[in-house]
A = this chain, B = another copy of it.
Protein backbone atom coordinates (compact mmCIF):
# COMPACT_ATOMS: atom_id res chain seq x y z
CA UNK A 1 0.00 0.00 0.00
CA UNK A 2 1.19 3.45 -0.93
CA UNK A 3 0.46 6.12 1.66
CA UNK A 4 0.95 9.87 1.25
CA UNK A 5 1.92 11.67 4.45
CA UNK A 6 0.84 15.30 4.87
CA UNK A 7 0.75 17.53 7.93
CA UNK A 8 0.65 21.14 9.05
CA UNK A 9 -1.18 22.54 6.05
CA UNK A 10 -2.16 25.59 8.15
CA UNK A 11 -4.82 26.52 5.61
CA UNK A 12 -5.70 30.21 5.82
CA UNK A 13 -2.33 31.20 7.28
CA UNK A 14 -0.81 34.61 6.67
CA UNK A 15 2.97 34.97 6.67
CA UNK A 16 4.33 38.43 7.47
CA UNK A 17 0.97 39.89 6.46
CA UNK A 18 0.80 38.01 3.13
CA UNK A 19 -2.16 35.66 2.70
CA UNK A 20 -0.93 32.19 1.73
CA UNK A 21 -4.27 31.05 0.31
CA UNK A 22 -3.22 31.13 -3.35
CA UNK A 23 0.10 29.45 -2.53
CA UNK A 24 -1.80 26.79 -0.63
CA UNK A 25 -4.24 26.18 -3.46
CA UNK A 26 -1.30 25.86 -5.85
CA UNK A 27 0.62 23.44 -3.65
CA UNK A 28 -2.46 21.30 -2.95
CA UNK A 29 -2.97 21.04 -6.70
CA UNK A 30 0.63 19.88 -7.09
CA UNK A 31 0.06 17.41 -4.26
CA UNK A 32 -3.01 16.02 -6.05
CA UNK A 33 -0.92 15.61 -9.21
CA UNK A 34 1.75 13.78 -7.22
CA UNK A 35 -0.87 11.45 -5.74
CA UNK A 36 -2.03 10.47 -9.23
CA UNK A 37 1.46 10.06 -10.57
CA UNK A 38 2.53 7.99 -7.57
CA UNK A 39 -0.68 5.97 -7.65
CA UNK A 40 -1.17 6.20 -3.92
CA UNK A 41 -4.18 4.61 -2.20
CA UNK A 42 -4.23 6.41 1.13
CA UNK A 43 -3.77 9.98 2.36
CA UNK A 44 -2.84 10.77 5.96
CA UNK A 45 -3.10 14.36 7.24
CA UNK A 46 -1.49 14.65 10.66
CA UNK A 47 -3.07 17.79 12.08
CA UNK A 48 -2.94 21.58 11.90
CA UNK A 49 -5.15 21.33 8.86
CA UNK A 50 -6.31 24.87 9.48
CA UNK A 51 -4.22 27.66 10.92
CA UNK A 52 -6.90 28.84 13.32
CA UNK A 53 -9.66 27.56 15.59
CA UNK A 54 -12.17 29.50 13.50
CA UNK A 55 -10.81 29.21 9.98
CA UNK A 56 -11.48 31.92 7.40
CA UNK A 57 -14.07 31.28 4.71
CA UNK A 58 -11.27 31.03 2.13
CA UNK A 59 -9.64 28.30 4.21
CA UNK A 60 -12.95 26.45 4.63
CA UNK A 61 -13.54 26.57 0.88
CA UNK A 62 -10.00 25.41 0.17
CA UNK A 63 -10.25 22.34 2.43
CA UNK A 64 -13.69 21.66 0.97
CA UNK A 65 -12.22 21.66 -2.53
CA UNK A 66 -9.26 19.50 -1.50
CA UNK A 67 -11.44 16.87 0.18
CA UNK A 68 -13.74 16.83 -2.85
CA UNK A 69 -10.78 16.20 -5.13
CA UNK A 70 -9.47 13.43 -2.87
CA UNK A 71 -12.95 11.94 -2.80
CA UNK A 72 -13.22 11.96 -6.60
CA UNK A 73 -10.11 9.80 -6.78
CA UNK A 74 -11.54 7.45 -4.13
CA UNK A 75 -8.51 7.70 -1.87
CA UNK A 76 -8.95 6.56 1.69
CA UNK A 77 -8.35 9.71 3.74
CA UNK A 78 -7.32 9.85 7.41
CA UNK A 79 -7.17 13.21 9.16
CA UNK A 80 -6.59 14.30 12.75
CA UNK A 81 -6.86 17.68 14.46
CA UNK A 82 -3.69 19.47 15.58
CA UNK A 83 -3.32 22.09 18.28
CA UNK A 84 -4.24 24.83 15.80
CA UNK A 85 -7.49 23.12 14.81
CA UNK A 86 -10.78 23.14 16.62
CA UNK A 87 -11.57 19.44 16.87
CA UNK A 88 -15.35 19.91 16.89
CA UNK A 89 -15.39 22.20 13.90
CA UNK A 90 -12.92 20.04 11.97
CA UNK A 91 -14.89 16.86 12.52
CA UNK A 92 -18.31 18.26 11.55
CA UNK A 93 -20.09 15.61 9.50
CA UNK A 94 -17.40 13.03 10.25
CA UNK A 95 -19.75 10.10 10.74
CA UNK A 96 -21.22 10.83 7.31
CA UNK A 97 -17.79 11.42 5.74
CA UNK A 98 -16.76 8.08 7.26
CA UNK A 99 -19.04 6.29 4.84
CA UNK A 100 -17.37 8.18 1.99
CA UNK A 101 -13.85 7.02 2.93
CA UNK A 102 -12.89 10.22 4.74
CA UNK A 103 -12.06 9.56 8.39
CA UNK A 104 -11.61 12.53 10.70
CA UNK A 105 -10.65 12.47 14.39
CA UNK A 106 -11.34 15.89 15.90
CA UNK A 107 -11.13 15.56 19.68
CA UNK A 108 -9.76 12.68 21.71
CA UNK A 109 -12.90 11.19 23.25
CA UNK A 110 -11.53 8.34 25.32
CA UNK A 111 -10.81 5.95 22.46
CA UNK A 112 -8.48 5.80 19.48
CA UNK A 113 -10.51 5.18 16.33
CA UNK A 114 -8.89 2.56 14.11
CA UNK A 115 -9.68 1.59 10.53
CA UNK A 116 -8.59 -1.65 8.94
CA UNK A 117 -7.73 -1.85 5.26
CA UNK A 118 -6.55 -4.70 3.10
CA UNK A 119 -3.87 -5.00 0.46
CA UNK A 120 -1.92 -7.82 -1.13
CA UNK A 121 0.12 -8.23 2.08
CA UNK A 122 -2.89 -8.51 4.38
CA UNK A 123 -4.35 -6.13 6.94
CA UNK A 124 -3.09 -2.65 7.64
CA UNK A 125 -4.68 -0.68 10.46
CA UNK A 126 -4.76 3.13 10.70
CA UNK A 127 -5.02 4.56 14.23
CA UNK A 128 -6.13 8.18 14.69
CA UNK A 129 -4.91 10.14 17.71
CA UNK A 130 -5.66 13.87 17.52
CA UNK A 131 -3.49 16.33 19.49
CA UNK A 132 -3.77 15.67 23.23
CA UNK A 133 -2.72 17.54 26.34
CA UNK A 134 -2.56 15.86 29.77
CA UNK A 135 -5.88 17.55 30.64
CA UNK A 136 -7.53 16.07 27.53
CA UNK A 137 -6.65 12.53 28.53
CA UNK A 138 -7.14 12.99 32.28
CA UNK A 139 -10.82 13.68 31.68
CA UNK A 140 -11.17 9.95 31.03
CA UNK A 141 -9.12 8.78 34.02
CA UNK A 142 -10.94 8.54 37.34
CA UNK A 143 -8.08 7.45 39.60
CA UNK A 144 -6.08 10.50 40.73
CA UNK A 145 -2.90 8.40 40.88
CA UNK A 146 -3.32 7.30 37.30
CA UNK A 147 -3.62 10.75 35.79
CA UNK A 148 -1.07 11.90 33.23
CA UNK A 149 1.47 14.34 34.63
CA UNK A 150 3.12 15.29 31.37
CA UNK A 151 2.69 14.98 27.62
CA UNK A 152 4.54 11.68 27.33
CA UNK A 153 2.21 10.15 29.87
CA UNK A 154 -0.77 11.76 28.17
CA UNK A 155 0.02 10.06 24.86
CA UNK A 156 0.94 6.84 26.65
CA UNK A 157 -2.36 6.73 28.51
CA UNK A 158 -4.32 7.65 25.40
CA UNK A 159 -2.65 4.81 23.49
CA UNK A 160 -3.35 2.34 26.30
CA UNK A 161 -6.93 2.70 25.12
CA UNK A 162 -5.98 1.61 21.62
CA UNK A 163 -5.95 -2.03 20.53
CA UNK A 164 -2.93 -2.97 18.48
CA UNK A 165 -2.66 -6.39 16.89
CA UNK A 166 1.10 -6.93 16.53
CA UNK A 167 0.46 -9.49 13.80
CA UNK A 168 -0.89 -6.76 11.55
CA UNK A 169 0.78 -3.67 10.15
CA UNK A 170 -0.13 -0.58 12.17
CA UNK A 171 0.08 3.08 11.20
CA UNK A 172 -0.62 5.86 13.68
CA UNK A 173 -1.37 9.52 13.02
CA UNK A 174 -0.34 11.80 15.87
CA UNK A 175 0.25 15.51 16.32
CA UNK A 176 2.72 16.10 19.15
CA UNK A 177 6.18 17.44 19.83
CA UNK A 178 8.05 14.13 19.74
CA UNK A 179 11.69 13.95 20.73
CA UNK A 180 14.21 11.23 20.21
CA UNK A 181 15.39 10.96 23.76
CA UNK A 182 13.52 9.04 26.37
CA UNK A 183 12.34 11.56 28.96
CA UNK A 184 12.96 10.49 32.54
CA UNK A 185 9.69 10.03 34.38
CA UNK A 186 10.66 12.46 37.09
CA UNK A 187 12.75 14.58 34.80
CA UNK A 188 10.09 16.86 33.42
CA UNK A 189 10.51 19.28 36.31
CA UNK A 190 13.96 20.08 35.08
CA UNK A 191 12.83 21.10 31.63
CA UNK A 192 12.02 24.68 30.89
CA UNK A 193 8.45 25.50 30.00
CA UNK A 194 9.10 25.24 26.28
CA UNK A 195 9.96 21.60 26.64
CA UNK A 196 7.07 20.48 28.83
CA UNK A 197 5.07 19.39 25.80
CA UNK A 198 7.73 16.92 24.68
CA UNK A 199 6.67 13.36 24.05
CA UNK A 200 9.17 10.50 24.12
CA UNK A 201 9.19 8.72 20.78
CA UNK A 202 9.17 5.33 22.49
CA UNK A 203 5.45 5.66 23.27
CA UNK A 204 4.79 4.76 19.63
CA UNK A 205 6.84 1.54 19.73
CA UNK A 206 3.85 -0.65 18.89
CA UNK A 207 3.25 1.08 15.54
CA UNK A 208 5.07 0.23 12.34
CA UNK A 209 4.80 3.71 10.86
CA UNK A 210 4.31 6.91 12.87
CA UNK A 211 2.83 9.69 10.78
CA UNK A 212 3.62 12.86 12.72
CA UNK A 213 2.55 16.47 12.52
CA UNK A 214 3.45 19.57 14.60
CA UNK A 215 7.04 20.38 13.65
CA UNK A 216 7.41 22.30 10.41
CA UNK A 217 10.84 21.00 9.44
CA UNK A 218 10.65 17.58 7.76
CA UNK A 219 12.62 15.06 9.81
CA UNK A 220 12.90 11.55 11.12
CA UNK A 221 12.59 10.97 14.86
CA UNK A 222 14.09 8.00 16.75
CA UNK A 223 13.84 5.60 13.83
CA UNK A 224 13.50 5.39 10.06
CA UNK A 225 9.74 4.93 10.26
CA UNK A 226 8.76 7.80 12.55
CA UNK A 227 8.47 10.96 10.51
CA UNK A 228 7.48 14.58 10.44
CA UNK A 229 6.50 15.35 6.84
CA UNK A 230 6.83 19.06 7.64
CA UNK A 231 4.71 21.80 6.12
CA UNK A 232 4.05 21.73 2.37
CA UNK A 233 5.17 25.37 2.17
CA UNK A 234 7.75 27.52 3.91
CA UNK A 235 5.91 29.53 6.52
CA UNK A 236 8.89 31.36 8.01
CA UNK A 237 12.28 32.70 6.91
CA UNK A 238 13.85 30.24 9.32
CA UNK A 239 12.68 27.54 6.88
CA UNK A 240 14.41 29.10 3.85
CA UNK A 241 16.93 26.32 3.38
CA UNK A 242 14.47 23.46 3.87
CA UNK A 243 13.28 21.30 0.99
CA UNK A 244 9.55 20.71 1.34
CA UNK A 245 8.26 17.42 0.01
CA UNK A 246 5.59 14.75 0.32
CA UNK A 247 6.77 11.50 1.89
CA UNK A 248 5.33 8.55 -0.01
CA UNK A 249 5.32 5.57 2.32
CA UNK A 250 5.11 2.14 0.77
CA UNK A 251 4.08 -0.55 3.24
CA UNK A 252 4.99 -4.01 2.05
CA UNK A 253 4.98 -7.07 4.30
CA UNK A 254 5.19 -6.41 8.06
CA UNK A 255 8.55 -4.84 8.89
CA UNK A 256 9.22 -3.65 5.37
CA UNK A 257 8.51 0.02 4.76
CA UNK A 258 10.02 2.13 1.99
CA UNK A 259 9.88 5.91 2.06
CA UNK A 260 10.41 8.19 -0.93
CA UNK A 261 10.23 11.98 -0.91
CA UNK A 262 8.62 13.86 -3.78
CA UNK A 263 9.75 17.51 -3.69
CA UNK A 264 7.21 20.34 -3.88
CA UNK A 265 7.43 23.51 -5.98
CA UNK A 266 5.78 26.62 -4.54
CA UNK A 267 4.49 29.47 -6.71
CA UNK A 268 6.98 31.74 -4.98
CA UNK A 269 10.17 30.79 -3.19
CA UNK A 270 11.12 32.27 0.16
CA UNK A 271 14.58 33.82 0.10
CA UNK A 272 16.97 35.95 2.09
CA UNK A 273 19.37 38.40 0.51
CA UNK A 274 21.79 40.91 1.98
CA UNK A 275 23.97 43.71 0.60
CA UNK A 276 24.03 47.45 0.23
CA UNK A 277 20.92 49.17 -1.04
CA UNK A 278 22.76 49.95 -4.26
CA UNK A 279 23.75 46.31 -4.77
CA UNK A 280 20.30 44.97 -4.07
CA UNK A 281 18.62 47.41 -6.42
CA UNK A 282 20.81 45.83 -9.15
CA UNK A 283 19.58 42.30 -8.34
CA UNK A 284 17.43 40.34 -10.74
CA UNK A 285 13.74 41.12 -10.39
CA UNK A 286 11.81 38.41 -8.60
CA UNK A 287 8.37 37.75 -7.17
CA UNK A 288 9.80 35.53 -4.45
CA UNK A 289 8.99 36.30 -0.83
CA UNK A 290 12.10 38.22 0.23
CA UNK A 291 13.82 39.05 3.45
CA UNK A 292 16.22 41.85 2.58
CA UNK A 293 19.04 42.83 4.92
CA UNK A 294 20.70 46.13 4.07
CA UNK A 295 24.35 46.55 5.02
CA UNK A 296 24.36 50.33 4.61
CA UNK A 297 25.61 52.22 7.64
CA UNK A 298 22.98 54.93 7.11
CA UNK A 299 19.25 54.15 6.94
CA UNK A 300 17.84 54.55 3.41
CA UNK A 301 14.71 56.75 3.42
CA UNK A 302 11.66 54.81 2.25
CA UNK A 303 13.84 51.88 1.17
CA UNK A 304 10.93 49.43 1.11
CA UNK A 305 9.16 51.35 -1.63
CA UNK A 306 12.23 51.29 -3.87
CA UNK A 307 12.94 47.64 -3.11
CA UNK A 308 9.40 46.70 -4.14
CA UNK A 309 10.34 47.63 -7.71
CA UNK A 310 12.81 44.73 -7.64
CA UNK A 311 10.97 42.49 -5.18
CA UNK A 312 7.23 43.22 -5.24
CA UNK A 313 6.67 40.52 -2.59
CA UNK A 314 9.27 41.74 -0.12
CA UNK A 315 8.13 40.56 3.31
CA UNK A 316 10.80 41.80 5.66
CA UNK A 317 13.47 44.47 5.67
CA UNK A 318 16.20 45.07 8.22
CA UNK A 319 19.69 46.41 8.59
CA UNK A 320 22.97 44.75 9.44
CA UNK A 321 25.43 47.49 10.36
CA UNK A 322 27.38 48.85 13.31
CA UNK A 323 24.23 50.21 14.95
CA UNK A 324 22.22 46.96 14.75
CA UNK A 325 25.22 44.81 15.69
CA UNK A 326 25.68 46.85 18.83
CA UNK A 327 22.01 46.49 19.71
CA UNK A 328 22.24 42.76 19.07
CA UNK A 329 25.28 42.53 21.30
CA UNK A 330 23.40 44.07 24.22
CA UNK A 331 20.49 41.71 23.59
CA UNK A 332 22.79 38.71 23.64
CA UNK A 333 24.31 39.86 26.89
CA UNK A 334 20.85 40.12 28.36
CA UNK A 335 19.97 36.68 27.04
CA UNK A 336 22.91 35.09 28.80
CA UNK A 337 21.38 36.09 32.08
CA UNK A 338 18.01 34.88 30.98
CA UNK A 339 15.66 32.79 33.05
CA UNK A 340 12.66 30.70 32.17
CA UNK A 341 9.37 32.57 31.71
CA UNK A 342 8.20 31.07 35.01
CA UNK A 343 11.23 32.39 36.87
CA UNK A 344 10.81 35.82 35.34
CA UNK A 345 7.16 35.94 36.33
CA UNK A 346 7.86 34.68 39.83
CA UNK A 347 10.39 37.43 40.46
CA UNK A 348 8.06 40.02 38.93
CA UNK A 349 5.27 38.83 41.22
CA UNK A 350 7.52 39.02 44.24
CA UNK A 351 8.69 42.52 43.34
CA UNK A 352 5.07 43.67 43.17
CA UNK A 353 3.54 41.87 46.13
CA UNK A 354 6.56 41.00 48.30
CA UNK A 355 4.97 37.51 48.57
CA UNK A 356 6.07 34.38 46.72
CA UNK A 357 3.80 32.46 44.39
CA UNK A 358 1.97 29.67 46.16
CA UNK A 359 1.61 26.22 44.60
CA UNK A 360 -1.81 26.93 43.12
CA UNK A 361 -0.65 30.17 41.54
CA UNK A 362 2.45 28.45 40.20
CA UNK A 363 0.34 25.72 38.62
CA UNK A 364 -1.99 28.28 37.05
CA UNK A 365 0.91 30.23 35.57
CA UNK A 366 2.59 27.09 34.29
CA UNK A 367 -0.58 26.02 32.50
CA UNK A 368 -1.03 29.49 31.07
CA UNK A 369 2.54 29.81 29.83
CA UNK A 370 2.30 26.33 28.43
CA UNK A 371 -0.87 27.14 26.54
CA UNK A 372 0.56 30.34 25.07
CA UNK A 373 3.74 28.50 24.13
CA UNK A 374 1.84 25.79 22.28
CA UNK A 375 -0.34 28.19 20.37
CA UNK A 376 2.78 29.67 18.89
CA UNK A 377 3.89 26.35 17.44
Residues on A lying within 8 angstroms of B by beta carbon are: 54, 57, 60-61, 63-64, 67-68, 71, 86, 88-89, 91-97, 99-100, 102
**A64 — which chain B residues lie within 8 A by C-beta?**
91-95
- Please state the number of chain copies in the assembly: 2
With contacts A57-B86, A86-B57 known, is A71 near B95, CB below 8 A? yes
- Closest B residue, CB atoms, query A53: B57
Among A61, A71, A96, A97, the most chain B Cβ lie within 10 Å of the Cβ of A96
- Rounded to whole angstroms, the CA-CA distance of A88 and B64 in the bound complex is 9
**A57 — which chain B residues lie within 8 A by C-beta?**
86, 88-89
**A67 — which chain B residues lie within 8 A by C-beta?**
93, 96
**A99 — which chain B residues lie within 8 A by C-beta?**
100
Chief secondary structure at chain A's binding surface: helix
- Rounded to whole angstroms, the CA-CA distance of A93 and B67 in the bound complex is 8
21 intermolecular pairs with C-beta atoms under 8 Å apart: A54-B54, A57-B86, A57-B88, A57-B89, A60-B89, A61-B88, A63-B92, A64-B91, A64-B92, A64-B93, A64-B95, A67-B96, A68-B95, A68-B96, A71-B95, A92-B92, A92-B93, A93-B93, A93-B96, A96-B97, A99-B100
- B96 and A100 contact, CB distance less than 8 A: yes
Q: How far is the CB of A283 from chain B (nearest CB, A)?
A: 41
- A92 and B54 contact, CB distance less than 8 A: no
- Closest B residue, CB atoms, query A89: B60
Q: How far is the CB of A306 from chain B (nearest CB, A)?
A: 37
- Closest B residue, CB atoms, query A61: B88
**A91 — which chain B residues lie within 8 A by C-beta?**
64
- Rounded to whole angstroms, the CA-CA distance of A96 and B93 in the bound complex is 10
- Closest B residue, CB atoms, query A102: B96
- Closest B residue, CB atoms, query A70: B96
**A89 — which chain B residues lie within 8 A by C-beta?**
57, 60
- Rounded to whole angstroms, the CA-CA distance of A97 and B96 in the bound complex is 7
